[in-house]
Structure 1
């Protein structure tokens, strides 16, 4: 069985940097050998869950601006998998979750910046799936629940986002972590480790600094899809760090 992951994708710059985090991702990929990867990316947000379903090589999407030219030359030529995409579709629809297929969209940076370090050879089939950030945390977990048998088929599920993601408050000169960001993550870790779903459902009202950590839910909800997609919840923190004062690189294995 391959356990689901929640991985931080941070700044697009991580694609061309060598840091403790990128070294961690490289090592992680060396130790996990999935037959295919299903990745829920915070940079594809639709009202209807949408599944990339082609077998062809993905285009690399540069969904950002103002970065060094080197970043726009990166190509991550992974192929899709219509077989895995159909499995995802069937499992979601069996639970009454409406989906649609997409045959043309490329990999956005919520996917390829992580995958480039995990599997630099781009030799594992990828199915990219959109999120719907307007759904409740309970419903995000239900999406994951519908897919929890994939782990037993050696299909790796990745939720790509950040637990603390507020670009208005990042500080490019900061060398220390803002206390409010750490407090939010501390609370989140405690509730996940205790399987306190009621608190997680109500995080907006009771988590410390939730309004600062999660001004919009798009980078937050992939965490709960991954959490829900494990056959047995045994959460483990596999990496934790912060950049730019408060951008969280908290990662879980479930």
Structure 2
């Protein structure tokens, strides 16, 4: 059995940087050897939930600009799995969630940067799923809940995003996190520890500094998707917490 994970994907430079978080991801991958990975990525937005659907090697998508040339030469040649995708699609349909297939889209950096660190051999099948940022948190939980039980089948569900993600106010030379970013993450941790679903559903009005931390929700909703996919008896655990550039959180949780 494997847990459901929310992992921060941070800067694309994580693919080539050697830092505390990169080392954590390597050690995390060594803990689990799933038979497949299902990943919700903040960098694939669709109004209708969309699931990658093929058995071929994914194209590596470079959905970023202005980075070192070596970033654009990286390949992560994981394969898809129509068998796992069919299972995922059936679970969504059984829960009344509209879903569609995409046989062509590659892996964006919200997926391959993390997975390259965790599973550098790219030998585990991957099914990538889109997000709809503007559904309310309770609906995001329900989407995740449709995938409950995958962990018991050794299929790793990952929500790839960031809790504090405001690129307009990053501090390029700052090594210590901004106090407001820490306070926002502290609040999230407290609500998950207390299983305070009502507060989490209204994080935008109840969490301190919510507008600063989450100016747009596409990176935030994978947290709810991962939490929903967890075994109902699971207790959330902080598996990593660090910050970069003053305002970029690498808070990661297991459910």
Which stretches in structure 1 are left out of the alignment for 5+ residues? none
Could you tell me whether the CA contact under 8 Å between 1:227 and 1:233 is conserved in 2? no
Range with bigger deviation, 16-25 or 36-45: 16-25
- Partner Cα distance (1:26, 1:174) in 2: 25
Residues 236 and 253, structure 1, Cα contact 8 Å, conserved in 2? yes
Q: 1:42 deviation in Å?
A: 0.1
Match of 2:229 in 1: 229
SS at match of 2:167: coil
Cα-to-partner distance string for 1:72-92 (whole Å, 9 max, x where unaligned): 000000000000000000000
Alignment partners' CA distance in 1, 2:108 and 2:55: 17
Runs (4+) off by over 3 Å:
none
Spell out the pairing of 1:123-138 with structure 2 (5 A cutoff). 123-138=123-138
Number of equivalenced pairs: 254
**Post-superposition shift, 1:171?**
1.0
Alignment-derived partner of residue 79 in structure 1: 79
Does residue 49 of structure 2 align to residue 19 of structure 1? no
For residue 116 of structure 1, give the secondary structure of its aligned residue in structure 2.
helix
Unaligned regions of 5+ residues in structure 2, if any? none
* Structure 2 CA distance for aligned equivalents of residues 249 and 48 of structure 1: 28
1:82-112: CA deviations, max 9, x gaps? 0000000000010000000000000000000
Instruction: Write the mapping of 1:66-215 to structure 2, written as runs, cut at 5 A.
Output: 66-215=66-215
Equivalent-residue separation in structure 2 for 1:148 and 1:236 (angstroms):
18
Cα offset for 1:233? 3.1
Q: Secondary structure at the match of 1:121?
A: coil
The aligned runs of 1:40-59 (5 Å cut-off) are 40-59=40-59
- Tell me, yes or no, if the aligned pair for 1:39 and 1:128 is still in contact at 8 Å: yes
Q: Does 1:241 align with 2:242?
A: yes
How big is the shift at 1:176? 1.4
